[in-house]
Amino acid sequence: MANRFYYQRNIPIKDAAVLSNCPLRDVRRVWLHRIIDHDGVAPSVGDGDAVSRQCEGGIEAWLSLGEACALSRDELWHDRQVQPGVRFAVDAYVTFARTQPWPVAVASSLTELFAPDLMSARLSAFEKFYGWIDSTGLDYFRRRITQARRDSDDALKITMEQCHTRELQDAAIGALQFKCDLLWAILDAIQLRYG
């Protein structure tokens, strides 16, 4: 949980790097919601609890999931259990988004094409095998089923429109392979530590 949280909290930083490199206003407008989905928005003064919960993003949902799994927010925010291999892989992803041409960085997000089904499977697995986790702790997965479909559709459309040369197309394929390798490295680091 702690290792995956490190990945999750760096996603909006990666997405901000894509935005900062992108000169196209229409693309930035589409991509911006990804940061809001993860970071949430600040509630207005005087908003009630129900409105405040609607303003929470994916990071807050992951913190709730961590608490439901008996990890404190402090423990998650301070990376006390993050494995070096996970940190290295995640930091490499952020660096990739900062240093590659923005359409290539967008293409690295195409792993989300599989996310809606993965989120459904993860939600079912949590409910089946981890019944002791409070159901509200699983809100992240519930939200991401629809968000991931929208995100993957956006990323695919942008990649198809903006990777219009053979060089960019090859780089987009390489970016997707890089991201798959990165996710694999995260899993390897976790398995090495926890078995």
- Tell me the whole-structure pTM to 2 decimals: 0.90
- On the question of pLDDT at 16 being above 70, the answer is yes
Q: What is the pLDDT of residue 162?
A: 98
Confidence of residue 156 (pLDDT cuts 50, 70, 90): very high
Reduced to 3 states (helix: H, G, I; strand: E, B; else coil), residue 69 is coil
Q: Residues 6 or more apart from 178 whose CB is under 8 A from it?
A: 96, 108
Q: What is the pLDDT of residues 80-126, one digit of tens each?
A: 999 999 999 999 999 999 999 999 999 999 999 988 888 889 889 98
Confidence of residue 44 (pLDDT cuts 50, 70, 90): low
Domain that holds residue 103: 2-194
Confidence of residue 74 (pLDDT cuts 50, 70, 90): very high
Taking a C-beta distance cutoff of 8 angstroms, is the pair 12, 35 a contact?
yes
What total number of domains does the chain contain?
1
Alpha carbon 159 to its chain's center: 18
CA neighbor of 16 nearest in space, from 38, 32, 39: 32
Q: What is the pLDDT of residues 25-35, one digit of tens each?
A: 999 999 999 99
Which token pair is 118?
Answer: 């993965």
- On the question of pLDDT at 148 being above 80, the answer is yes
| Average model confidence (pLDDT) across the chain | 92
Which token pair is 116?
Answer: 């809606």
Taking a C-beta distance cutoff of 8 angstroms, is the pair 81, 3 a contact?
yes
Q: What is the pLDDT of residue 110?
A: 96
CA neighbor of 112 nearest in space, from 190, 40, 37, 171: 37
Share of the chain above pLDDT 90, in %: 76
Burial class (CB in 10 A: 0-12, 13-18, 19+), 184: exposed
Rounded mean pLDDT, 57-74:
93
CATH number of the domain enclosing 126: 1.20.910.10
Report the C-alpha gap between 33 and 38 in whole angstroms.
Answer: 9
Helix extents (H) in the chain: 2-21, 25-39, 49-55, 58-68, 73-77, 84-99, 102-107, 115-129, 139-162, 166-194
Q: What is the pLDDT of residue 51?
A: 47
Q: DSSP label at 70?
A: T
Taking a C-beta distance cutoff of 8 angstroms, is the pair 163, 169 a contact?
yes
Q: What is the pLDDT of residue 49?
A: 57
Which token pair is 59?
Answer: 């990071």
